[in-house]
Structure 1
């Protein structure tokens, strides 16, 4: 290396003379993240209407050792599994493209035609076009509430009343007013006074084998109710899910079949109690303008009831009467078994209904009894019932309860009533 050549730089020397700056490390952001905005609240109707106490009880008493008089369930061992399966198989074998396709909102023509003929034999002459097939008759109630009720409208109901109807009308924002009655149902004079005072939109009734009481409104009382509605300008919603389950007594005509009532009465029915509830098939018969409004409401709700179920039910109608006859015979024995055991099961001074059909009977214990407070004691004895209080739109009677007699055998009913007696302190 000559004197003219510079000395080589070491890495250290270069680094010391020309330092490479270290990358900047950002200061941590200590500003708290803004809290997420709350989601919009539920609609007022969603906050104000509770669930079904019956379904809450069923969830608590689902243990197999519990004899359950609480539910309103048909006896599953009586379902015509072979007949219903054959109907589905025939539909899928002969018309699969139609059965698995969308359908009209009004319902499959075959089912509406068969149902119209069936209705016409029992009551008002009915054309297929006068019917709307619904996803259970519970949906028919919801469609009517949508089509008829504004928030704040008044609905007159029985006392006590079918619990799920109270839910439907409550969700619609209606005021529910109970009309006083007696063993025959709503009192016509009390109805007239309630209409004058409350200016209601409709009256909701289950005149035949009522839920929860099991009582049936006699024909003369039905005629009086229809006359009041006609005179005062009132819709009647006549719900008949149990009418074919008659064990004794004679047929009582629908209010919808009475002269002058057809233009203001909506008739509801169901296949749940006579065919199978899992099919979710009901129907609505109403005057044209109201029916069209319900069709529009159903289009918005679910487009249509399942096509396959409708076509299978239409085929099953040919054998439905024979199946219902078998069911009636069994249920009649079960009703008799419950009636026979009640005197020993319920406290002295209790009274109860003797239904001519349907699925339920209603009991009233002495005034000192609170059936809601006593329910846990009954469940400890592995038996369940429904306390009566939730069935009231007005002031409840805490001493009442509902018993379903169709789901258990006579032997199970006898044992269940013995347990009930222990649970009630007998």
Structure 2
């Protein structure tokens, strides 16, 4: 069985790598959170067998990581992931001067403060209640349901549950539906934390490719028909990280296929409202699949600090979610729900603000990439642009970026196992001045991995390009 370390590395990425290069790849996995502190790594002998390399190479790689503080080794206790006590930042706590491009999110909407003030009387009226709300406030469920209806799918408040963000919603759905050991169809690339949630609930991944040009629909439907996965997690609108959008006919075809295979569709609409200039608006996936489970949130449209999300599903599943929720979560904060009611009444203004911010961020990112000789693909909306680096140097670029005060996850961070080394995600969510500075640091890191070393094609690590 392949170890998790080798799955994350991608054996093809380290084929022929020196001990120092192998240590560098493992350090990248630790810095971006794909390997967690305290996690046990394979023994030198086991790793050598998996990678078909000499044990001495594995020993030197581990020695280098230990010297730098990234692993600890105890005789009889194996090798475990650690972090240096100084000289490097935890992935969760980057240097305060660094620009963090691992978070594709904007600052709060200008209307957040006023909405908070207007929400206080609504909160005050709830002081006589218990304060617990497993389904969510009726007014907020009505507002979310109304938004779905406006977008083309009739929705009742009874088909809505309010959650503490979209990721909380995904965990809740998997808690209610999950079957450990079952298979899950996922896009590759995809939102890393959703992939982690599926792994946490014991799913085995079936990746299907997507890039800025869209999905490989034959591969997707063939995978559904062949493997009949228990769930499929999809981001059909301004896909994170590629920015692609499924058309209505494509949604209909996927929904029909999933229905025939008995696959639960978990549809993430966190990015659905982030349109810049797409020029058309598809129907929600739920319009094509009555049993689709839709999750969404206010985090990208209002503010990430306001943890409001929701699930849209049939009433029977909502009842199951209520029962499952009580075991780990007694409801979403009432103040944030009250604020969300106010904000959802101002969606046209919110969307226009987001559109302006994303357009400005996109322009600054495109200009910065051009200075590095890279091209931004068509990006009509969403959180980010999915950049083709031309060569499989994503991990090297990610590590070099940290040396220049830029936290930039490598392409494999968005995959199920070590691929996508030619790709990097560039968020377009920063303000223009901050984005310009981020791209200046990006350019210095890009130059650093090219200056002074000519990369011969035959020496580049082999990787799948999706």
Q: Which structure 2 segments of 5+ residues have no match? A: 9-28, 35-88, 451-466
C-alpha separation in 2, matches of 1:70 and 1:397:
16
Task: Give the whole-Å Cα distance in 2 for the aligned partners of 1:404 and 1:314.
Answer: 28
Change (3 A) 1:159 1:247: same
Query: What is the aligned partner in structure 1 of residue 380 from structure 2?
Result: 356
With over 3 angstroms needed to count, the CA separation of the structure-2 counterparts of 1:187 and 1:153, relative to structure 1, is same
In structure 2, relative to structure 1, the CA distance for the partners of 1:338 and 1:390 (3 Å cut) is: same
8 Å contact from structure 1 (residues 345, 418) kept in 2: no
Q: Which runs of 5+ in 1 are unaligned?
A: 1-44
**5 Å matches for 1:9-408?**
53=32, 59=92, 61-64=94-97, 66-76=98-108, 78-98=109-129, 101-181=130-210, 183-249=212-278, 250-258=280-288, 261-263=289-291, 265-346=292-373, 350=374, 352-367=376-391, 369-407=392-430
Residues 316/421 of structure 1: CA separation in 2 closer, same or farther (3 Å cut) = closer
Change (3 A) 1:54 1:323: farther
State the alpha-carbon separation in 1 of the partners of residues 407 and 357 from structure 2: 22
Q: Deviations over 1:144-199 (max 9, x none)?
A: 11122211100000011110111111011110110134544333321232123323
CA distance in 2, matches of 1:94, 1:111: 15
What's the secondary structure of 1:268's corresponding residue?
Answer: strand
**Residues 45-95 of structure 1, C-alpha deviations (whole Å, 9 max, x = no match):** 9xx99999369875453323x33322122224x443422321332224444
The alignment partner of 1:179 has SS state of strand
Q: Report the counterpart of residue 423 of structure 1 in structure 2.
A: 445
Secondary structure, aligned partner of 2:327: helix
Task: Provide the C-alpha distance between the structure 1 equivalents of 2:368 and 2:299, rounded to a whole number of angstroms.
Answer: 28
Q: From the superposition, tell whether residues 278 and 53 of structure 1 become closer, same or farther in structure 2 (CA, over 3 Å).
A: same
Contact kept? 1:72, 1:404, Cα under 8 Å: yes
Asked if structure 1 preserves the Cα contact closer than 8 Å seen for 2:183 and 2:231, the reply is yes
- The 3 A distance-change label for structure 1 pair 149 and 359 is same
TM-score scaled to structure 2, two decimals? 0.73
Q: SS in structure 2 opposite 1:301? A: coil
Tell me which structure has the larger Cα radius of gyration.
1
- The 10-residue stretch of structure 1 (193-202 or 110-119) with the greater mean CA deviation from structure 2: 193-202
| Aligned-pair CA distance for 1:306 | 1.8
The 1:378/1:247 distance shift into structure 2, 3 A limit, reads: same
Cα distance, 1:383 vs structure 2: 2.5
| Larger deviation, residues 307-316 vs 106-115 | 307-316
Q: Distance in 2 between matches of 1:385 and 1:124?
A: 38
Q: Quote the residue 2:86 is aligned against.
A: none
Query: What SS does structure 2 have at the residue aligned with 1:178?
Result: strand
2:212–2:243 Cα contact (<8 Å) kept: no
Determine if the alignment matches structure 1 residue 414 to structure 2 residue 445. no
Per the alignment, residue 11 of structure 1 pairs with none
